[in-house]
């Protein structure tokens, strides 16, 4: 297991699966400087050793909040230089999350406002509690999203819907997010974590090199023209051919058993 952190609790509830829980319940899991440092270290570490896990679930402590965004109490009275220095840590943490080669599922258990909504959008997909609420409220504070919100939200819901959310700062429900295509599944609160861990377990049972290559290919291909993306896909596909996992998958199919993938 990864090393312990001050603001993130780590568990391994299923084989090859990491459960990372944002853990500042006294502040609605708001993102302070230490949480930014912890997120950066956690996801940088996984990026450097992607075989350690095969799926990750990211959630928040308690039923009230996934993450309430930046900790405005800590930010109150910050100088411009201190604010920008803190935000650089946040930027690096978010980029490490986006670049994580292992599939990451957000299990949004409550309010995901500001940076909390941005963290969820940086994950590969989102499961949300029926009681979860989302907002990008930065415009009401004299700033703007700076952790991917202006880029990830329009990619998820379309430019016109995203502009409405970003320019008003108004919250929306999990049902809204599902209808718009931002959220994959809305769950009863008591079933959210179990359903997220179930899908993580399904992913973790698949060939880990394949899942990492699929994630990489989708992410890279979205920024390419179709012809270039198809060529990139074939290069990624060809990396599967000489693997033991590819041979094991075919053997298991013919022997009518579940494959035992080793990630090599």
For 40-83, how does the pLDDT look when each residue is reduced to its tens digit (9 = 90+)? 999 999 999 999 999 999 999 998 999 999 999 999 999 999 99
Give the fold, CATH level 3, of 8-204.
2-enoyl-CoA Hydratase; Chain A, domain 1 (3.90.226)
Q: What is the pLDDT of residue 207?
A: 96
Give the model's pLDDT for residue 255.
94
Annotated active-site residue 195? The verdict is: no
- CB proximity list for 28: less than 8 A, separation 6 or greater: 64, 65, 67, 68, 110, 111
* Strands ordered across the beta sheet of 133-135: 65-67, 111-113, 133-135, 172-173
Summarize the confidence of residues 111-124 as an average pLDDT: 97
Q: Report the chain's mean pLDDT, rounded to a whole number.
A: 95
- Rounded Cα gap, residues 68 and 150, in angstroms: 18
Rounded to whole angstroms, the Cα distance separating 252 from 258 reads 6
Give me the mean pLDDT over the 125-134 stretch.
97
As a whole-number percent, the residues of the chain with pLDDT over 70 amount to: 99
Q: What is the pLDDT of residues 227-253, one digit of tens each?
A: 999 999 999 999 999 999 999 999 999
Domain boundaries, the chain: 8-204, 208-255
Considering Cα of 201, then 203, then 206, then 208, what sign does the dihedral take? Answer: negative
Tell me the pLDDT tens digit for each residue of 199-218: 999 999 999 999 999 999 99
**Which pair of structure tokens corresponds to residue 106?**
């957000």
Is 177 a residue whose pLDDT tops 60?
yes
pLDDT computed for residue 139 by the predictor: 95
Helix (H) or strand (E) holding 48: helix 33-48
Q: Return d(Cα 78, Cα 136) in angstroms, integer.
A: 21
Does residue 1 carry a pLDDT above 70?
Answer: no
Residue from 6, 138, 233, 248 carrying the catalytic annotation: 138
Report the distance separating Cα 242 and Cα 31, nearest Å: 43
% of the chain surpassing 90 pLDDT: 97
If pLDDT is split at 50, 70 and 90, which confidence band does 2 have?
low
pLDDT above 70 for 96? yes
Q: Catalytic: which of 26, 91, 118, 235? A: 118
Q: How confident is the model at residue 4 (pLDDT cuts 50, 70, 90)?
A: confident
138 is catalytic: yes
Q: Is the pLDDT of residue 178 over 90?
A: yes
pLDDT value of position 25: 95
CATH of 208-255, one of 3.30.300.20, 1.10.357.10, 2.40.170.20, 1.10.12.10: 1.10.12.10
């Amino acid at each position: 297991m990864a090393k312990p952190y001050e603001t993130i609790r780590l568990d391994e509830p299923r084989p090859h699966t990491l459960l990372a829980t944002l853990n500042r319940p006294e502040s609605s899991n708001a993102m302070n400087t230490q949480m930014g440092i912890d997120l950066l270290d956690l996801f940088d570490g996984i990026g450097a050793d992607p075989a350690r896990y095969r799926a990750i679930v990211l959630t928040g402590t308690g039923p009230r909040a996934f993450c309430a965004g930046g900790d405005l109490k800590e930010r109150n009275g910050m100088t411009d230089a201190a604010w920008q220095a803190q935000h650089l840590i946040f930027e690096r943490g978010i980029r490490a999350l986006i670049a994580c080669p292992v599939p990451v599922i957000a299990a949004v258990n409550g309010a995901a406002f500001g940076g909390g909504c941005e963290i969820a959008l940086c994950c590969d997909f989102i499961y949300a509690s029926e009681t979860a609420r989302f907002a990008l409220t930065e415009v009401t504070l004299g700033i703007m999203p700076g952790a991917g919100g202006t880029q990830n939200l329009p990619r998820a819901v379309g430019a016109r819907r995203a502009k409405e959310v970003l320019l008003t700062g108004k919250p929306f429900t999990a049902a809204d997010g599902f209808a718009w295509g931002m959220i994959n599944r809305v769950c009863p609160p008591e079933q959210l974590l179990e359903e997220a861990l179930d899908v993580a377990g399904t992913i973790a049972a698949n060939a880990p090199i394949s899942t990492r290559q699929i994630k990489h290919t989708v992410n890279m291909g979205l920024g390419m023209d179709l012809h270039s993306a198809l060529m990139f896909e074939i290069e990624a596909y060809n990396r599967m051919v000489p693997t033991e996992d590819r041979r094991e998958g075919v053997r298991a199919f013919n022997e009518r058993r579940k494959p035992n993938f080793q990630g090599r």
